[in-house]
Amino acid sequence: MEAEEFELALSAYQRAASETGVNAEVLSGMGSANLRLGRLMQAHTLLEKAVQQYAESASAWNNFGVVLISLGDYQQARQAFRVAFGVNNGNSELIRQNLILSNRLIYEQSTEITREYDFSLVRYGNGSYLLLGNK
């Protein structure tokens, strides 16, 4: 991975999985290699499996968050980064920066929505309101 030979890294992780079994590091590595190769759905599947089976792996949660950001799912990415930050006891600057990025992307996305739509509040009796977006 460091040498940016992602196909070779993926092959190495697959070999490790067959020789020593699947663990958080192997799943996370395979997912990260797929991410770097632009195979977002394969990366998503592998990293989702990693966080389900190895919930204590901060790197798996962080890498899952990176895939979610790449897929444009900023809310879920923020949640993944929060879990990673908690599992790591806040000791990773990288995870902290990813959490900040996800918050910024969510803010920017919400700002775009408000610019794109003209919102109206419609009252539905008894103090209930519905927010309508008029494009």
Q: How confident is the model at residue 14 (pLDDT cuts 50, 70, 90)?
A: very high
Residue 39 dihedral angles phi and psi, to the nearest 5°? -95, 75
Domain 6-134, CATH among 1.20.120.1230, 2.10.109.10, 1.25.40.10, 1.10.8.60:
1.25.40.10
Per-residue pLDDT tens digits for 74-129: 999 999 999 999 999 999 999 999 999 999 999 888 776 555 555 555 656 666 66
Cβ-based neighbour number of residue 28 at 10 Å: 25
Residue 47 · residue 64 · CB < 8 Å: yes
- What is the pTM assigned to this prediction? 0.78
